[in-house]
Structure 1
Amino acid sequence: MISDKRVYVIAEIGINHNGDIDKAVEMIRKAKDAGCDAVKFQKRTIDIVYTKEELARLRDNVFGPTNGDLKRGLEFGKDEYDAIDKLTRELGIDWFASPWDEPSVDFLMQYDTPYLKVASAMVTDRDFLVHCARTRRPLLVSTGMCDLPMVRSAVETIEGAGGEIACLYHCTSTYPTRDDEINLLGINTLRAAFPGLPIGFSGHEQGILPSVCAAAMGAVSVERHVTLSRNDWGSDQKASLEMDEVAEMISQIRRFEVVKGDGILRVYDDEKPIAEKLRRNDTLQAA
């Protein structure tokens, strides 16, 4: 669970499973092996999220000739989510998803997941935010494509409807995000604006350094898109980390959690023989 004691790392599988439950299973297992605390998916009711015209648009893909064929082919249903729920419980890793419409919220509520994720694309939809808040499931909220007044409106809407925000994520919704658009100081801005909320980082950049830096700046949770291979087909693959990168990122975050210490200045036992060897005099009394 998210706390200020240990960075909660989320592997955003999203739709990078390409509609293949076997690939999703492999990704869950590898995310667990890499040290992730949770995996996240995306859930849509296709005929609500997309217009008829958008679904009918020609777009040749592995599932058929239209964009609708692609969107339906990527979508998991109850059988797949039952399998995800069972596997994650066996492995001891959390899972949850980002719903993109109200029926998808209701679908996800049949599972005992720790959180419901509000994607950046949904954070300006008042009715949707209220629907999520009224589930009483703790919410993780991303803030891509938002300025501070927009974030404030979303937070006020959720809390006004009785919802709990378990983490508010600084985020830039470009794929992949350029370095000059990551703006990690936004973490500090959100912390100052919402002192009662835990602040995290959801990244779409290339490489692991910004995510490690986000943890060093106090992000209590880091979310990154993951993939088995960036060369795989799909819209999110290029903005994702491969599993060896995920493992290295988590290793660096966990090392930071050790090296940051507690801030108390002390003489360590291992320093005492060094002091005896190197110090000529010990005549200065502490104030």
Structure 2
Amino acid sequence: MVVKTIRIGNKKIGEGEPCFIIAEAGVNHNGSVEIAKKLVNAAKAAGADAVKFQTFTTENLVTKDTKKAEYQGKGSQFDMLKKLELKKEDFVGLRRYCDEKEILFLSTPHTEDAIDFIDALVPLFKIGSGDLTNLQLIEKVAKKGKPVFISVGMATMDEIREAVEVIKKYKVPFIILHCTTNYPCPKKDANLNVIGVLRKEFDCPVGYSDHTEGIDIPTMAASLGAVVVEKHFTLDKNMEGPDHKASLNPLELREMVDAIRSKKKIDIPREVLGNGLKKPTKEELEFAKFVRKSVVTKKDVPTGVKITKEMLIIKRPGTGIPPKDIEKIIGKTAKHAIKKDALISWEDVE
């Protein structure tokens, strides 16, 4: 049976409860703990329930030559993310700081090594859209026994079903967050009717992770029954970095929280409601190439060697063999030498 209400500390999340608002700081700290603390202050001042960061080891997240998505500018993802990576002790300090400020600390683990570490710091796990098809990571998270929030941007209904089956196996409470992965997402692609579709299909609480500009769409999502709303925010939209431009500033974040809490009746345009069909947009299919993951070599693999699990890792980009097929590669033989940190393809093995 699916749990309909989740208790986190003194808060209840679920249908009939106040909307749980996550202020998504993400990597908008630009690698600075001081900026991260200011983001915590801004989230608290805005009245958000939680502030969320992202935890990862760049070497385990992305290959050295993975290109950036178009909105992120030129250069490699690796170089960009390395500058945005915080140390373990930084997250321990941020959790302590959040406790002092009386706001919930959350962080999405984008790599498997981050899961064990972040487990001691968070009351629930949030899985990003880029890992929806990374069933190994989802399983490792679900095994921890904590509630799971999972975003479903770029996904088909079948992909969501596969991820949900993994979570259900471990009988942990979960909430699906409807999401359209595009930075920024045009309002016509918000497709808010999907919230009701997901709720009916999976018989679970559903929230919304927003990438549109402004506060209208997340406020509308809450009025349609989204039990969680997640929204990127920044101290300054003009700062250097990939996500600042598609984020709210602190004043806008406060306005969004107030608008959601007011529960005023809102007229929702038909184009925002959409057709309710949960399938990737053209832009999302393009975006998935950069933020989904594939099977990658962890070390040099000589010709004629049998592939073992220890030789493989799951990393961005999403243009190779999907993570769920990793077991099909194990036991096959390398047709030729495969360099470390390379996307593996079916043509490489026999």
Does the TM-score normalized on the shorter chain lie above 0.5? Answer: yes
Give 1:216 deviation, angstroms: 0.6
Q: Distance in 2 between matches of 1:66 and 1:173?
A: 20
**1:191 lines up with 2:199 in the alignment:** yes
Q: Distance in 1 between matches of 2:197 and 2:120?
A: 36
In structure 1, which of residues 249, 259, 262 is the aligned counterpart of residue 256 of structure 2? 249
In structure 2, which of residues 100, 123, 137 is the aligned counterpart of residue 90 of structure 1? 100
The CA deviation string for residues 22-76 of structure 1, in whole angstroms up to 9 with x for no partner, is 0110010111010000011111121111113349x9xxxxxxx975443222111
Q: Distance in 2 between matches of 1:155 and 1:93?
A: 29
SS where residue 28 of structure 1 aligns? helix
Give 1:101 deviation, angstroms: 1.5
Mapped contact 2:65–2:78 kept (Cα < 8 A): no
Give the 5 Å matches for 1:1-287.
1=11, 2-4=13-15, 5-54=17-66, 68-111=78-121, 113-160=122-169, 162-195=170-203, 197-256=204-263
TM, length-normalised to structure 2: 0.68
Mapped contact 1:132–1:163 kept (Cα < 8 A): no
Q: Distance in 2 between matches of 1:36 and 1:128?
A: 28
Q: Which amino acid is the alignment partner of residue 42 of structure 2?
A: K
The CA deviation string for residues 109-161 of structure 1, in whole angstroms up to 9 with x for no partner, is 122x221110000010111111111111211100000121211111012112x
Mapped contact 2:147–2:173 kept (Cα < 8 A): yes
Give 1:166 deviation, angstroms: 3.0
Length, aligned pairs only: 249
Query: Where in structure 1 are there 5+ consecutive unaligned residues?
Result: 58-64, 261-287
Q: Distance in 2 between matches of 1:165 and 1:225?
A: 24
SS where residue 76 of structure 1 aligns? coil
Aligned identity (percent) is 35
Q: Distance in 2 between matches of 1:99 and 1:219?
A: 23
Mapped contact 1:141–1:165 kept (Cα < 8 A): no
Mapped contact 2:63–2:78 kept (Cα < 8 A): no
Q: Distance in 1 between matches of 2:111 and 2:88?
A: 16
Q: Distance in 1 between matches of 2:231 and 2:76?
A: 29
Q: Which amino acid is the alignment partner of residue 86 of structure 1?
A: R
Give 1:198 deviation, angstroms: 1.0
Bigger proportion of residues as helix: 1
RMSD of Structure 2 on Structure 1 (CA): 2.0
Q: Which amino acid is the alignment partner of residue 14 of structure 2?
A: S
SS where residue 170 of structure 1 aligns? strand
Q: Which amino acid is the alignment partner of residue 238 of structure 1?
A: K
Larger Rg: 1
Q: Distance in 1 between matches of 2:163 and 2:90?
A: 31
Q: Distance in 1 between matches of 2:93 and 2:185?
A: 32
Query: Where in structure 2 are there 5+ consecutive unaligned residues?
Result: 1-10, 69-74, 267-350
